[in-house]
Amino acid sequence: MKYTAVLIALAMPLLGAPAHASPELAAKSKCMACHQVDKKALGPSFKDIAAKYKGNSTAEATLVDSMLKGAKGKWGKIPMPPQKIAPVDAQKLTRWILTL
């Protein structure tokens, strides 16, 4: 019994980790040079993006595509250049953005 409790205690921080992984990934992927979570910067805020695509069943595919291939004319005059990130990271970032 005691041993199990110790194991659970040790596992807790590991289980908590993914919740913070995406903001860190966004910073590491240099997204934050043009984006902020809740304020418009050079690009739209991640919260505005989440609001725009709320309830859109193809949102995930659209946003992953925008990150990997770039986007223009959807939010304003400034285009987003294609981002040099792995497709799996683009998917993680998209899922995180859509929860905001």
Return the sign of the alpha-carbon dihedral for residues 89, 91, 97, 100.
Answer: negative
Residue 11 or 42: which CB sits closer to ligand HEC? 42
Q: Are the C-beta atoms of 3 and 11 separated by less than 8 Å?
A: no
Q: In terms of CB distance, is 11 or 61 closer to ligand HEC?
A: 61
Place of tokens 């992984």: 21
Q: How far apart are CA 30 and CA 41, in angstroms?
A: 13
**Among residues 81, 86, 87, 95, the one that binds ligand HEC under rule CB under 6 A:** 81
Give the footprint of ligand HEC on this chain (CB under 6 A): 26, 29-31, 33-35, 42-44, 49, 62-63, 66-67, 71-76, 78-81, 83, 85, 93, 97
